[in-house]
């Protein structure tokens, strides 16, 4: 007797439902096996750092010593330890709070990728610099093989639902819970600030001749940031810092104060002064570009106005007003006042323009300033700026009897000239940050944002668009002038060469605009980070100095493609740039009937 099975009735909805796609990706391994490879690769990467990577000390960092890691080997230890910790947490070997969320497959992948990228870069750099693979010692081969093993293990873990690799999907990072204790949160902020200080101190301390180590450091920081982002730690740290903004800002200021005491070379303090100067000017430009939405291509001219004003009243023998020497507070106020006047004079007749027309006018103003100070030499024009030779021998500042040009012993540490100016510039930066935040959160700040979003709608709501833009233009100009008054004394001289739209070295308008866009428009820390990256990277990578604009262009193209809101995103702008992604969410999560859309209508 044959038995027959009655097929279950199928509904049209069930018949129309497609079968789930088969998993895609690499050949899957059991989760334990894949993570075991990650652990083995992490251990091997760390162990390889204690071996010789090359037989000659000609390669920067001296990677020839057994048992004494240096240069790229120290970075390999950090990358290997990161992969090892996340792999162990994912496998359950580390009993940590939120370990399953932190060590998600995406975070493990980026941790393994950091070790792989760093070790393979080191091996290729040794072979290229020294002339062949014969220059690699066993340690380099072990590092390359171990890091590749870790990456293969992270890739071979079974794919997620639907076969979409977790590191390629647009899913949110893991949600990390932190005890609702203010002291625990403050401890987290303190640890994060200390980690940032250590990373910055290490990076700025790398010798400019050791470009390979600095490139490895940049790779490690980039992949480390991706790992922290995908693990959810970065987002959680940002949320905690926003709840304790005052404490986080105070710690950041304290870390900046400690920085000169960590350096034995005053040249590194000079880098810090220049970064703070350009970061401060970029914050002023952020008011014009980021908050108000005005494209200013000649903003560096305001920095020049402040610098020349300070130089003229500094008591320099090359000043037109020889014998006139203002105290610093008077010179700073004079520089701000003069740049404020220039901002109003330039903005009043031009700010009724919009878009490309306004950009062309501001570009013209920048060129007019440079040409004018170049011709004020007593021959082509009035003798005010000493023409292309500029004003040199600007004396050092003396504040309350404290000469910033002399070395001083503080807490057993000798602070040189640039360290003294670093502290002064740090105070100026704090003032500018305070002005920026207070203005952005005020009524005028909300008016700036309204004008940026839609000037016509803002005018219809009663906002005087011209007056609001003029205030932004004047305030941004005065902040640039304040930074210029300090910069003139730091550099000993001013001349018209740097104040152009695009030059061989900063400051220039393209540099400042790139710092704002790269860091994140409308934020406080974004322009500071952008200025740090754009100044420090060409400084440490000497071969990029002749290709600086090319590097800027590549960086901006990649940024506009993958993160148009900037490295540190303003929440409003982030939602605007990813509006399509937000609209895609209900389409994937809701049925057609819920959305009110039919397939026939589509």
Q: Which two tokens stand for residue 372?
A: 């004018």
Q: What are phi and psi of 50, to 5 degrees?
A: -95, 10
Is the predicted pLDDT of residue 176 greater than 70, yes or no? no
What residues does each domain of the chain span?
31-161+175-243, 265-395+425-577
Residues 290, 507: Cα–Cα separation, whole Å: 19
Strand partners, 494: 391
HEC sequence for 130-152 = HCCHHHECHHHHHHHHHHHHHHH
Could you read off the pLDDT of 405-461 as tens digits, one per residue? 888 777 777 788 888 889 999 999 999 999 988 888 889 989 988 888 888 888 888
Q: Is 11 helix (H, G, I), strand (E, B) or coil?
A: coil
pLDDT confidence of residue 114: 93
Residues 253, 268: Cα–Cα separation, whole Å: 18
Cβ neighbours for 13, distance < 8 A, ≥ 6 positions apart? none
Residue range 31-161+175-243 forms a domain whose CATH class is: mainly alpha
CATH number of 265-395+425-577: 1.10.3470
pLDDT confidence of residue 577: 60
Residue with tokens 């069930």: 14
Could you read off the pLDDT of 111-147 as tens digits, one per residue? 999 999 999 999 999 999 888 888 888 999 999 999 9
Residues 33, 351: Cα–Cα separation, whole Å: 64
Mean pLDDT across the chain, nearest whole number? 80
Instruction: Please choose, from the candidates 563, 567, 562, 564, the residue with its C-alpha nearest in 3D space to the C-alpha of residue 534.
Output: 567
Length of the chain as a residue count: 602
- The answer to whether the CB of 124 falls within 8 A of the CB of 133 is no
Is the predicted pLDDT of residue 12 greater than 50, yes or no? no
User: Which tops the pLDDT comparison, 371 or 161?
Assistant: 371
Instruction: Please choose, from the candidates 272, 276, 274, 285, the residue with its C-alpha nearest in 3D space to the C-alpha of residue 509.
Output: 285
pLDDT confidence of residue 142: 94
Could you read off the pLDDT of 539-596 as tens digits, one per residue? 887 776 677 677 777 877 887 787 777 777 766 666 666 554 444 444 333 333 333 3
């Amino acid at each position: 007797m044959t038995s027959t099975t009655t097929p279950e009735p199928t509904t049209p909805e069930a018949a129309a439902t497609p079968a789930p796609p088969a998993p895609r990706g690499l050949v899957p391994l059991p989760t334990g096996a894949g993570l075991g490879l990650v652990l083995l690769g992490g251990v091997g990467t760390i162990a390889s750092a204690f071996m010789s990577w090359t037989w000659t000390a000609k390669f920067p960092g001296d990677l020839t010593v057994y048992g004494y890691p240096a240069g790229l080997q120290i970075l390999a230890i950090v990358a290997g330890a990161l992969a090892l910790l996340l792999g162990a947490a994912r496998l359950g070997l580390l009993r940590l709070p939120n370990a399953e969320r932190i060590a998600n497959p995406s975070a493990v992948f980026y941790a393994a990728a950091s070790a792989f990228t760093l070790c393979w870069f080191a091996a290729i750099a040794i072979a290229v610099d020294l002339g062949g693979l014969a220059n690699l010692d066993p340690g380099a081969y072990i590092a390359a093989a171990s890091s590749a093993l870790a990456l293969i293990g992270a890739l071979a873990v079974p794919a997620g639902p639907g076969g979409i690799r977790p590191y390629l999907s647009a899913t949110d990072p893991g949600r990390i819970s932190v005890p609702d204790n203010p002291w625990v949160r403050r401890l987290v902020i303190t640890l994060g600030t200390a980690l940032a200080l250590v990373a910055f101190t290490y990076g700025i301390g790398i010798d400019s001749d050791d470009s390979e180590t600095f490139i490895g450091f940049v790779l490690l920081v980039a992949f480390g940031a991706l790992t922290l982002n995908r693990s959810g730690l970065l987002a959680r740290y940002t949320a905690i810092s926003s709840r304790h903004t005052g404490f986080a800002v105070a710690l950041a200021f304290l870390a900046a104060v400690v920085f000169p005491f960590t350096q034995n070379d005053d040249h590194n303090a000079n880098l810090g002064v220049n970064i703070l100067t350009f970061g401060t000017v970029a914050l002023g430009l952020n008011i014009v570009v980021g908050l108000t939405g005005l494209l200013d291509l000649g903003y560096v001219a305001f920095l020049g106005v402040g610098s020349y004003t300070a130089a003229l009243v500094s008591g320099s023998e090359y000043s037109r007003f020889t014998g006139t020497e203002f105290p610093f507070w008077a010179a700073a106020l004079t520089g701000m006042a003069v740049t404020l006047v220039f901002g109003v004079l330039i903005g009043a007749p031009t700010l009724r323009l919009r878009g490309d027309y306004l950009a062309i006018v501001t570009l013209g103003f920048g060129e007019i300033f440079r040409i004018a100070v170049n011709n004020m030499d007593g021959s082509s024009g009035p003798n005010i700026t000493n023409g292309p030779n500029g004003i040199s021998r600007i004396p050092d500042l003396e504040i309350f009897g404290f000469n910033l040009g002399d070395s001083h012993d503080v807490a057993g540490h000798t602070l040189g000239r640039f360290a003294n100016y670093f502290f002064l510039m740090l105070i100026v930066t704090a003032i500018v940050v305070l002005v920026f935040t207070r203005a952005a959160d005020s009524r005028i700040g909300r008016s700036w944002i309204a004008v940026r979003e839609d000037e016509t709608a803002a005018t219809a709501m009663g906002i005087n668009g011209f007056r609001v833009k003029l205030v932004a233009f004047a305030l941004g100009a005065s902040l640039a002038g304040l930074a210029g008054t300090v910069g003139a004394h730091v550099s000993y001289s001013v001349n018209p060469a740097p104040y152009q739209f695009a030059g061989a070295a900063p400051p220039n308008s393209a540099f400042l605009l790139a710092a704002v866009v790269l860091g994140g428009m409308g934020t406080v820390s974004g322009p500071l980070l952008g200025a740090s990256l754009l100044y420090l990277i060409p400084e440490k990578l000497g071969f990029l100095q002749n290709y600086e604009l090319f590097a800027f262009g590549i960086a901006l193209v990649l940024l506009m493609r993958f993160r148009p809101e900037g490295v540190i995103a303003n929440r409003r702008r982030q939602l605007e740039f990813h509006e399509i992604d937000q609209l895609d969410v209900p389409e994937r999560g809701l049925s057609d009937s819920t959305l009110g859309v039919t397939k026939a209508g589509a």
